[in-house]
Amino acid sequence: MSKLILVRHGQSVWNAENRFTGWVDVDLSEKGVLEAQKSGQLIKNLNIIIDISYTSFLKRAIKTLTTILKENSLELKFNTSWELNERHYGSLTGLNKEDTKKKIGEEQFKKYRRSWDITPPPMAENDKNQSLFSPLNPSIPLGMTPFTESLKDTYERVIPYYEKEIQKHIKEGKNVLISAHGNSLRTICKYLFKISDQKINELEIPTGNPLIIEFDNTFEIKRYYYLDESRAKTIIFNQ
């Protein structure tokens, strides 16, 4: 029976400041480092072997993954992919969420933040935040870097990568760890748990709390649970 372990990175500096982060390559906060360490300890308590690991191009996810691997005395060997990046928040990137809500109104704010297929206005090509993107970004194929994304857009880059590169290892009976972001992990949960376009806005992914998904021999989901029950969020299944 194989396991898929999904971990949203520990709290980032911009999470702590309540800012839209998206593709900006911010680091973990002090709290985030502790969350990553605890994630590693919780996974270690499972007494399982992590066979293969994946993360995004963003240091907050990479650092969370390397911390987990160190806590489990594992080699720092993993796969990085831009397809697992956080959703691109367009022109909202860097803005304080509360200030933005007051400026554009709660209804529009909710549409930008939680709707399935509505994108924020695109980021300008000369936006200062572009200089804060991952140094790995030049390896992204020409024309593939977005200037804004809806959750649907994020799904359409994450899931093909999952199906092509990650799913095969689960079918081989391996345990797979993915350290990524709130929205990229929401798309994987949408895919695996068959969550509708209408209900996906209700799914919350807590930082630094590993979600374990166990598959049976027919690769159907047999069990799913958060390791830190005190910080668990409701998982929506087939709704």
Cβ atoms of 71 and 43 within 8 Å: the answer is yes
**Residue 88 designated active-site:** no
Burial of 103 (0-12, 13-18, 19+ CB in 10 A): exposed
Nearest to 203 by CA among 184, 230, 175: 184
Place of tokens 């345990």: 175
Nearest to 25 by CA among 116, 136, 117: 136
Cβ atoms of 43 and 5 within 8 Å: the answer is yes
**Residue 86 designated active-site:** yes
Task: Spot the catalytic one: 9, 35, 149, 181.
Answer: 9
Task: Spot the catalytic one: 35, 83, 86, 149.
Answer: 86
**Tokens encoding 15:** 């999470």
What does each C-alpha distance from 186 to 127, 133, 135, 191, 212 come to in angstroms?
A: 27, 22, 25, 9, 14
Q: Where are the alpha helices (DSSP H) in 85-206?
A: 97-104, 106-114, 151-161, 167-171, 182-193
Q: Where are the alpha helices (DSSP H) in 4-150?
A: 13-16, 30-44, 59-71, 97-104, 106-114
The DSSP H or E segment spanning 220 is: none
**Which residues are catalytically annotated?**
9, 86
